């Protein structure tokens, strides 16, 4: 019998999260949703459009924190459903290994991945989705682009915090870097 995860028990208050961000790296998952053909070849990349805390708008990938006592697999599903809707139908592999690990720092010169709020470690995944995706929560829009479009200079310039590099890494991992 599967155990139901109580997500409310793993949330930190705003003050607790702020304090943790000052002293600990925070664990995240990031997912690049893709459409694949019958041979497993990436044919489309789902990119979100989000409003940022400073009022700007940028492209983004599915991302979020891993909760205390939450399995990585469950965190991925939770964030994919939160951002793409319950009918996205993500296909996670049996072995849930990330394609890369990204370290975000408040100082953008450390790794090129930047989060002004914190030091964060993100396990990054390329996740095929089969269902109907509708942007939810804080996403303004979801666009499905070809790998070539997603890696174009125009689209990559719409990302912030180094996520343009993450898209290029994901497409290289999937054998679709133009």
- Tens-digit pLDDT profile for residues 25-63: 999 999 999 999 999 999 999 999 998 777 889 999 999
Give domain status of residue 8, yes or no.
no
91 assigned to some structural domain: yes
Range of the domain at 52: 13-173
Tell whether 4 is covered by a domain: no
> Per DSSP, what are the bridge partners of residue 35?
44
How far apart, in whole angstroms, are the C-alpha atoms of residue 159 and residue 161? 7
Say if 119 falls within a structural domain.
yes
34 is a domain residue: yes
- 164 within a domain of the structure (yes/no): yes
CATH number of the domain that 144 lies in? Answer: 3.90.79.10
The angle at the Cα of 153, spanning 152 to 154, to the nearest 5 degrees, equals 90
- Reported as a single tens digit per residue, the pLDDT across 88-145 is 999 998 999 999 999 999 999 999 999 999 999 999 999 999 999 999 877 899 999 9
Does pTM top 0.75 for this prediction?
yes
If you ran DSSP here, which 8-state letter would residue 7 be given? G
Number of domains in the chain: 1
Taking the CA of residue 163 as centre, how many other CA atoms within 13 Å lie in the half-sphere pointing to its CB? 23
């Amino acid at each position: 019998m599967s155990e139901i995860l109580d997500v409310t028990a793993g949330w930190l208050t705003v003050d607790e999260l702020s304090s943790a961000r000052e002293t600990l790296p925070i664990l995240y998952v990031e997912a690049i949703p893709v459409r694949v053909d019958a041979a497993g070849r990436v044919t489309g990349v789902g990119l979100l459009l989000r409003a940022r805390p400073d009022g700007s708008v940028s492209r983004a990938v599915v991302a979020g924190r891993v909760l205390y006592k939450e399995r990585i697999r469950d965190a991925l599903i939770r964030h994919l459903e939160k951002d793409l809707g319950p009918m996205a139908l993500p296909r996670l592999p049996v072995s849930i290994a990330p394609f890369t690990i990204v370290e975000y720092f408040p100082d953008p010169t450390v790794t090129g991945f930047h989060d002004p709020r914190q030091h964060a470690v993100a396990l990054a995944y390329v996740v095929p989705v089969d269902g109907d995706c509708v942007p939810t929560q804080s996403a303004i829009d979801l666009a499905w682009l070809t790998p070539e479009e997603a890696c174009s200079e125009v689209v990559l310039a719409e990302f912030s915090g180094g996520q343009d590099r993450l898209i290029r890494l994901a497409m290289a991992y999937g054998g679709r870097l133009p």
